[in-house]
Amino acid sequence: MDKQKYFPIIGLEVHVELKTNSKMFCSCSADYFGQKPNTHTCPVCLGLPGALPVPNKQAIEWCIMIAQALNSKINQFSKFDRKNYFYPDLDKGFQTSQYDLPFGERGWIMLKNGNKIGITRVHMEEDTGKLIHEEIAGESVSLIDFNRSSVPLVEIVTEPDFHSAEDVIEYLKALQTTIRYLDVSNADMEKGNMRLEPNISLQIEGKTGLPNYKVEVKNINSFRFVDKSITFELKRQEEILNAGKTPVQETRGWNEFKNATVSQRIKEEANDYRYFPEPDIPPIIFTPEKIAQIKAKLPELQPAKQARFVSEYKLTDYDAEILTREKAMADYFEETAKLGHEYKVTPKQIANMIINSKINIETILPAEIVKKIVESNRVETVDEAELNKIIASVLSANPKAVEDYKAGKETVIMFLVGQVMRQIGKKVDAQMVKTALIASLSK
């Protein structure tokens, strides 16, 4: 009997920490990375009784900017909700998040292969504390650092529109680039600024609708581990389904040492969190004018910039894509191109120099790039008698090439040009050498 065939159904949840100066609901510094534990805390972010939250206006506007950059509808009426669950790093016993009225919803990102990935929601919440597992006096203990507690966190949730790990990685790279272009987060996965959570399941080929289970893999911190976790899960789930069973709906984690996902807890449903509106924060209302004001702050994003580099600077799609991956690199190229125009250096020459020489934009000024290209473009003169002497020597040393050329194989002329220029030993006009060679061969 043939094995059943399946196709992957994958959705994504991505958490992005915003780089605001202060936390989401208090004035504590949000710059917690590498700081001494529990030094960036106050009664609000420690969840002490009677402490009242005050929303961070900058964080909310940045969340809306992210939603707008992802082509989302912005809700004029929105609110915060309490997401109730117990975990040691959640000191209040609930997380202030958003449920049914997020700031943004129904957005999309288009992949290069034409697949349109739906963005279900873009909502604002607060980060939790961080558990640190150590050994003290011979005993294994878990310590809690609340410096990260209440740092502004944007959650971006997609529809289950992915059917391969390749599409997932392309989407994540595009999302990271967008976040960095907006300059609202460093999106540094090693520091936890951007955390990736795929929801993975398998559906029987030919069957419509969603499977009756899904497995979420939590808090992955690299594109490579996302790829590996999806590949591992699809194989694991297929084996379970082929045995006539249904995979458990659960939350798993990626163990990079075992190269495997490991079970963490049974997956909760929305009603398990007992969501209800946050009573200490009134609803947030935006006028169409305010939404338009926020949208006006959006910079030119990577896809638009790449298209402009192709049309304005006559670059290839490949070069334009490389130069626009990071906004700093794109700005560096444009500054160099503007300077190069004064010295008749083309954008294509600048792009080639930056890409092929792997220029460090932190240490090499645009003027240095232009100077190098100008110098490389400068050709020297060569005495006519000396040139004819070198040509005669090259033709004498390459009788087969001469014979091929005279037999009609004209492309061999470029080989002879190269030989002559090598003997000259300095940069001269290749067209001038070619003309002189043809004249000599015609005698």
Domain final residue, candidates 254, 275, 293: 293
Backbone φ/ψ region at 149: left (φ over 0), alpha (ψ -120 to 50), beta? beta
Report the pLDDT value the prediction gives residue 268, as an integer from 0 to 100. Answer: 64
Residue 1 lies in a domain: no
Query: What does the mean pLDDT of the chain come to?
Result: 93
Mean pLDDT of 3-31: 95
Q: For 311-368, how does the pLDDT look when each residue is reduced to its tens digit (9 = 90+)?
A: 999 999 999 999 999 999 999 999 999 999 999 999 999 999 999 999 999 999 999 9
The pTM of the full predicted model, rounded to 2 decimals, is 0.84
CATH number at residue 416: 1.10.10.410
Domain boundary among 377, 395, 421: 377
pLDDT in tens, 93-146: 999 999 999 999 999 999 999 999 999 999 999 999 999 999 999 999 999 999
Helix-strand-coil split of the chain, %, nearest 5 = 40, 20, 40
**Strands, E assignment, 47-191:** 73-74, 77-78, 81-84, 94-97, 104-110, 116-126, 130-136, 139-145, 152-158
Domain span holding position 240 = 6-293
- My answer on whether 152 and 202 are in the same domain is yes
The answer on 306 and 208 residing in a single domain is no
Check residue 162 and report its DSSP letter: B
